[in-house]
Structure 1
Amino acid sequence: MYLSAGHSGYLISEAASGGVSSYFLIAISQLAIKIFL
């Protein structure tokens, strides 16, 4: 998946304004756990 810095920043701002930033944080943390463990 291709994500430029500007695009990822846009997604983060959209997620925060949409009130689903916590969902993305949980998903990213779970993905990191699966990768590192």
Structure 2
Amino acid sequence: MVKNVHIGRIYRKKIKSRIKIITILVIVLGAIVLYCRYK
């Protein structure tokens, strides 16, 4: 049981960091697209 909880915590941390990276990439790509469109 304890091991499963620990694995769950690590997995959650990985998901959170991945979501952060994805949101940053989406924002950057969106900014580039808008910049190119309204240049």
How high is the TM-score relative to the length of structure 1?
0.49
How high is the TM-score relative to the length of structure 2?
0.47
**Comparing both chains, which one has the higher relative contact order based on Cα–Cα distances under 8 Å and sequence gaps of 6 or more?**
1
Question: Which has more radius of gyration?
Answer: 2
